[in-house]
Amino acid sequence: MEETMKRIVILGAGTAGTIMASKLVRTLPMDDWTVTVVDQDDRHVYQPGLLFVPFGVYTERALYKPRSRYIPPAATLVVGEIDVIEAESNRVRLKTGMELPYDFLIIATGSRISPADTEGLLGEGWQETAFDFYTPEGSLKLAEKLRGWKGGRLVINLVEMPVKCPVAPLEFAFLADWYFATQGMRDKVEIVYATPLTGAFTKERTSAMLGDLLASKNIRVESQFAASEVDGTKRVLRSWDEREIPYDLLVTIPTHRGSEAIERSGMGDELEFVPTDRHTLQSQAFENIFVIGDATNLPSSKAGSVAHFQADILHENILRAIAGRELDPCFDGHSNCFIETGYEKAVLIDFNYDTEPLPGKYPLPGVGPLTLLGESSANHWGKLAFRWVYWNLLLKGADLSAIGPRMAMAGKGNGR
C-alpha cells in the first residue's frame, strides 16, 4: 500500500511551510497521500518579534516554540539539513544521506541574511559597533549593546532590496527615536537612515508620508545610498558613489539571499531566489514544484502576510494540480504591513503588485477597527496582538476569510 501512496514534500517549516502542511492534511485523503515537512532544526522563530528585542519589548523566550508543536500530527516532520533538490528525479537529498522522493514539491525555504556580501562588514567591529537585528543572535547582542550605549551617531543602513519585512528597517528607526526619548538621551543620539531607495519606501505615496514622519522625529534620510563597504576600524560606511557616513553605532540590514540548498540545486537566480510564476506560484522550470513565501523571486514583499495570502491560493492550486485541472492565476501580490512609529502608535498599509497603499479602514470597509495609511494606537495594539494570532490561528491554517488573499478596494481611496 505504501508504494501506491502519493507524496508531497514541503521544504521549510517556517511560516509558509507550516501553514501549507496544516491546510493540506485537512483536505487531502490521507489514506492516499503523505505530507512530509523538512527543516534543519525544531526551533520555530517568531520573526516579527526580532524587531522588538533590542528595545526590551520582547525577551528571547518570546521568540521560540518547537516546530513540531505546529506541524499537524497527520504530517511528518523530518529534522535535517537539505543538501540538494534533484528536480529531474523528483527527489530531495538531505545531508544525512536520506532521500525523499516526491510527486509534488513545495519550496518554502525562506531567505537569509548575507553580511559577507558587503566588504568589511564582518571585519573589525562586527557585533561590537555594527549589528543586525534580522537574526535572533544579532537582535540579542544589539539589545545588550543598547542597554549600555551612551549615545552618538546611529546609522541604520538598508544595503539593498529585497529584504524580509521591508518596513522593519523604518520601524527600527522609529522605535529607536522613542526608545532613546524614554531613556532621557534622545538629544545625545543622531539617527541617520541610509537607503538605496529614492525615499523612505518603495511605494511613492507611502514613501512621502513616512518621509515626513521621519523628518518630524529628526531622523535624517540619506537616500540613493548604495552601500559598498564598511570600514569598522574608522567606523565609516561607504557607498559606491564614494559618499561616506561616519557612525558610532551601525545597524545593518544586510543583503538577503535564498537558501544555500537552492544554490546547490542550481534552481535560483543571482540571489538564490526561485523563479516563480507571479500569479500561480508554480515554479517556472518544473510543473510539479511550487514556491511560497520568501523563497520566491516575486516582486511582492517578503513578509508574513504575503505567505499567508499565498498559502490560500497555493492550497487551491495544489488541489487543482493533483486533479489535473488548470491552475488559478489569482495571486495579485497582496501584502499588508504594520509599521511601528513609536509612542504606542503604528501605521498600517495594504497594497499589491499594481495598487499602492490607500487610506481607509481595515479589515472592514468604513468600520476598521484599523486605520490604513495613518497613525493610530489601534494599529499598534493590532501589531502586538498579531503574535497570539500567529501562534494560535495562522500557523494552524485557520480560516481567516475576513482578511482575504486578494486585495479588496472597498472603502479605500476611490474604492466603494
Position 405 in a domain: no
Q: Which among 219, 240, 255 is the end of a domain?
A: 255
Q: How many domains does the chain have?
A: 3
175 contacts 346 by C-beta, under 8 angstroms: no
Give the model confidence (pLDDT) of 109-125 as tens digits. 999 999 999 999 999 99
Q: Which residues of 116-127 are buried (b: 16+ CB within 10 A; e: fewer)?
A: ebbebbbeebbe
Least Cα distance to 74 among 405, 401, 397 occurs for 397
Task: Tell me what the mean pLDDT of segment 360-388 comes to.
Answer: 92
Least Cα distance to 346 among 198, 189, 213 occurs for 213
Least Cα distance to 132 among 166, 172, 184 occurs for 172
Position 330 in a domain: no
C-alpha atoms less than 13 angstroms from C-alpha of 257 in its C-beta half-sphere: 17
Position 408 in a domain: no
Task: Tell me what the mean pLDDT of segment 58-63 comes to.
Answer: 88
- Alpha-carbon torsion (120, 134, 263, 306), positive or negative: negative
Residues 73, 192, single domain; the answer is no
User: Lowest mean pLDDT: which of 99-113, 198-212, 227-241?
Assistant: 198-212
Look at residue 4 in the predicted model and tell me its pLDDT: 80
Residues 287, 304, single domain; the answer is yes
Least Cα distance to 282 among 301, 302, 297, 265 occurs for 297
| Residue whose grid cell is 505567505 | 307
Residues 15, 83, single domain; the answer is yes
Q: Which residue has better confidence, 36 or 414? A: 36
Residues 218, 319, single domain; the answer is no
Is the predicted pLDDT of residue 401 greater than 80, yes or no? no
252 contacts 224 by C-beta, under 8 angstroms: no
User: Lowest mean pLDDT: which of 78-87, 154-163, 228-237, 407-416?
Assistant: 407-416
Is the predicted pLDDT of residue 371 greater than 70, yes or no? yes
Residues 167, 188, single domain; the answer is yes
- Alpha-carbon torsion (62, 133, 302, 381), positive or negative: positive
Look at residue 415 in the predicted model and tell me its pLDDT: 47
Is the predicted pLDDT of residue 339 greater than 70, yes or no? yes
Residues 39, 56, single domain; the answer is yes
| Residue whose grid cell is 534580522 | 134
317 contacts 281 by C-beta, under 8 angstroms: yes
Residues 227, 120, single domain; the answer is yes
Cell numbers given for 404:
482575504
What percentage of the chain exceeds 90 in pLDDT?
89
CATH, residue 219: 3.50.50.60
Position 316 in a domain: yes
Residues 125, 217, single domain; the answer is yes
Least Cα distance to 193 among 201, 182, 204, 183 occurs for 201
* List of residues 6+ apart from 178 with CB closer than 8 A: 55, 342, 343
Q: State how far the Cα of 15 lies from the Cα of 21, in Å rounded to an integer.
A: 10
Give the model confidence (pLDDT) of 291-336 as tens digits. 999 999 999 999 999 999 999 999 999 999 999 999 999 999 999 9
- Residue 414 confidence class, pLDDT cut points 50, 70, 90: low
Look at residue 365 in the predicted model and tell me its pLDDT: 87
140 contacts 63 by C-beta, under 8 angstroms: no
Position 129 in a domain: yes
Look at residue 3 in the predicted model and tell me its pLDDT: 57
Cell numbers given for 164:
524580509
Look at residue 204 in the predicted model and tell me its pLDDT: 83
**Burial category of 400 from C-beta neighbours within 10 Å (exposed 0-12, middle 13-18, buried 19 and up):** middle
Is the predicted pLDDT of residue 62 greater than 90, yes or no? no
Residues 285, 244, single domain; the answer is no
Position 287 in a domain: yes
Q: Which stretch of DSSP H or E encloses residue 105?
A: strand 104-107
Residues 194, 301, single domain; the answer is no
Residue 253 φ/ψ, nearest 5 degrees: -110, 95
Residues 87, 191, single domain; the answer is no
List, as one string, the DSSP characters of 348-377. Answer: EEEE-SS-----EEEEETTTEEEEETSEEH
Look at residue 201 in the predicted model and tell me its pLDDT: 86
- Give me the chain's average pLDDT, please: 95
Residues 139, 60, single domain; the answer is no
Expressed as residue numbers, the domain containing 90 is 2-110+259-323
Q: State how far the Cα of 92 lies from the Cα of 84, in Å rounded to an integer.
A: 6
Q: What angle do CA 358, 360, 362 make, to 5 degrees?
A: 110
Pairing state of beta strands 360-364 and 152-158?
Answer: unpaired
Position 168 in a domain: yes
List, as one string, the DSSP characters of 211-230. Answer: HHHHHHTTEEEE-S--EEEE
Is the predicted pLDDT of residue 1 greater than 50, yes or no? no
Q: Which among 255, 281, 296 is the end of a domain?
A: 255
Position 42 in a domain: yes
Rg (CA), the chain: 22
Give the model confidence (pLDDT) of 184-210 as tens digits. 999 999 999 999 999 888 888 888 999
406 contacts 305 by C-beta, under 8 angstroms: no
User: CA 225 → CA 94, 188, 216, 241, distances in Å?
Assistant: 40, 25, 21, 8
